[in-house]
Amino acid sequence: MSEHTNHTTNIVKENGKVGAQADEIKNSNITINDYAEYSPEEKYEAAEKLLQEGVPRKARDLIDDAISKGHDGARVRFHRVLAILSKRSYRDLTAEDREQMRLSTKSPHEHTDDSWSGALDAIRELFEHFENPEIGTRHTDKKLRDLPSQQHEKIMRHLDLFITSELKDVLWTETSDEARESRFSGDRSNRVWAYFQPDPLDARVRHPVEDPLLPHDRRWAIVTSCTGTAAVGYLGWLVLTHATVLSVLAYLAMLAFGYVASRNGFEWHYRTSRLRLKEGDFFRSTSVTGSDPDGFANQVDRSFSHYFHKYCPENTNREKWLAETAGIRATLRDEIVELYRESRTGVGRVNWLIRYLTSDVKQRWQAGTLLRHRERYRVATSTKVRFSLALAALVPTTLIVLVTTVTTSVLPAVLAALVAVASTRDAVKRWLRVAVERRRFEEDQRESDRLHQERHEAYLRWKRKLETTCPSETEMEYWLHCDKVIMLDDALRHYRLAWRDIITHAFLQTPTSDAKRKRRGGPLRFSKYDVRLFLITRDGVRETNTTLDFEQGSFGRAQRGNFRFDAISSTDIIPSSGLGYTLKITLINGPTREVNVKEPDQEASTTNPNDTSERLSEIDLDAAGFTHTRHVLEGIAAEGKGWIERDPVTSDVGFTSSTDE
């Protein structure tokens, strides 16, 4: 049997890093909703949620659609502006974006005079400052500070790249302090793990299969039983025709002893065969192995080995525990491989069941009931005694009957005896097979139903735990935002820079090679990131690179470097296979640095035609900070320090001003 596996493989050159690659995408807003049936109000609500989850492009499209259908207002315009500016600096805006900003923020008094209008007015003044630097930001600073916390927090979070210079110096202490206080909010350390858990597959069990030859055996058993009964009946008639007390008693005793021997012999045979079968489940040395070391069968094998090591009972010798459970471990392993061995099934989706089975074995081992089948199928001494005595008595009584009938009528008696022996022997053999198989099937069916019920209950418990533990997209995005704020604050402190010294900054976050990955509604997220921070100042570029363990909320040791603008020999953006890019930074006196940013696997992409692979790739690249970082580094590589003095967007051509519908 061939194996199927859905593990992902990365091929990375020296000094390279993998940016994004998907094992699995769960049903989510992005992957299954095209919002075609949504009302304008529902589209706006979905857009606001997507914005908080870190998907500004999709949010902007939905808000534009809602506005075009008449759903408008200060709150709607405020979030539209956030969607335009989120994860972008002023230099990232196209001429069309700037025109849309002017249209969205002008005439704020047309909207209700509430906190949303005030927030929109503050963004308008901030935007006007970038349009005309001679306009100061003193009043804007006061407006931002006076905003209610909801609007203030959203502006500081989404306009992180947009707000710079002295204004950000004033607000930064508050922003960084809040990030340090909130990065572990919502019990982050005990919940993030659930986000990256694969969607569990439901409980499955082996269903007993009835022997297909059973009907055939039953038919022949009836035929031979009728023949044997007729032959034995004829012998009885011969006994009665020349009746003596001894012969009649012998005949009746033969029938009685035959019944007792058959009944107890069946019980002995059934229990012995079942015990032998069950012992095979607990005492075996080998299991099915796969040729592919990364195949599903070997993944299951490693998972069972891991959990049996992990769940070793307390105060128990580990080697003894593993030796005594080796057989049942192999049996359970083969069962899981058989039940779940299918295309695109990873072991992560059945690890919950492997843990449950391991825990069940541990509990039975501790309670001394792991081998309870031995007691269940032990043959009682009384059964053995009754069978032996009945068989011993059956032989002489049968001989008496045969002698009596032969002396009466030799040829008919001999023929009847031969037919009786042959037919009875075949009938007993076939009825024994039928009875054993029927009892085995009924017993296995009850056992299968019981196991399925227990496993399904364990599955529901695991599902409930994931549902109650798993953080929302909004929480995940906020925690990542806090982590980046702290990393940025540490870099500013290390380099002793104030925001007035920073022209712009850029984050580029890519997964580490051992990172878990998951998409649950927003961009593809990872359990571990390799985060690069570029601080662009008038004197050059400061770079900080560190590892972020997102599950634990901890940073690795930071690697820092800096280089002048004229030290960058080239910055190349090379399209890789599919929809990804490779960022190559070459310094005059240094090696070429490569960061590979890859799109999700095609197999993991959505089936919704409105969310194509290109769309998902854009979302993931934006989330990684690739779009903004590319824009900054390409500008520096092309123009050097001159890039600082020039606004690269004012030269956009071919744009025609438009108005909102």
Q: Evaluate if residue 292 carries a pLDDT over 80.
A: no
Q: DSSP string of 509-563?
A: EEE-TT--EEBSSSS-EESEEEEEEEEEETTEEEEEEEEEETTTTEE---EEEEE
pLDDT in tens, 591-609: 777 776 654 444 344 434 4
- Name the nearest CA neighbour of 552 among 479, 481, 605, 624: 479
3-state per-residue secondary structure call for 45-97? HHHHHHHHCCCHHHHHHHHHHHHHCCCCCHHHHHHHHHHHHCCCCHHHCCHHH
**576: helix, strand or coil:** coil
pLDDT in tens, 209-231: 877 777 777 788 788 878 878 88
What pLDDT does 601 receive?
45
What pLDDT does 157 receive?
87
**For residues 370-375, average pLDDT:** 88
**End-to-end Cα separation, the chain, in angstroms:** 61
Q: Is the dihedral of CA 186, 190, 196, 200 positive or negative?
A: negative
- Name the nearest CA neighbour of 122 among 72, 58, 175, 167: 167
243-252, 254-263, 275-284: least confident range = 243-252
User: Both tokens of residue 216?
Assistant: 């055939």
How far is Cα 559 from Cα 487, in angstroms, rounded to an integer? 12
What pLDDT does 222 receive?
83
C-beta separation of 574 from 581 below 8 A: yes
Dihedral through CA 518, CA 524, CA 526, CA 530, nearest 10? 160
What pLDDT does 430 receive?
81
**For residues 302-328, average pLDDT:** 91
C-beta separation of 309 from 318 below 8 A: yes
Q: DSSP string of 325-339?
A: THHHHHHHHHHHHHH
Q: Evaluate if residue 107 carries a pLDDT over 60.
A: no
Band of the pLDDT at 657, cuts 50, 70, 90? very low
Output 590 or 253, whichever has higher pLDDT: 253
How far is Cα 501 from Cα 506, in angstroms, rounded to an integer? 15
Give the pTM: 0.76
**For residues 457-474, average pLDDT:** 94
User: Both tokens of residue 463?
Assistant: 């599902």
Q: What is the mean pLDDT of the chain?
A: 81
Band of the pLDDT at 208, cuts 50, 70, 90? confident
**For residues 127-149, average pLDDT:** 75
Query: Which position has the token pair 């049942």?
Result: 328
Residues pairing with 537 in the sheet: 502, 540
- Report long-range pairs for 93-98 (Cβ below 8 Å, ≥24 apart): 93/649, 94/649, 94/652, 94/655, 95/649, 95/650, 95/652, 95/655, 96/652, 96/655, 96/658, 98/131, 98/649
**For residues 515-523, average pLDDT:** 85
What pLDDT does 488 receive?
94
What pLDDT does 8 receive?
41
Q: Evaluate if residue 659 carries a pLDDT over 90.
A: no
DSSP single-letter state for residue 25: B
**For residues 559-570, average pLDDT:** 79
Residues pairing with 563 in the sheet: 541
Output 54 or 651, whichever has higher pLDDT: 54
What pLDDT does 284 receive?
74
96 burial level (CB within 10 Å; 0-12, 13-18, 19+): middle
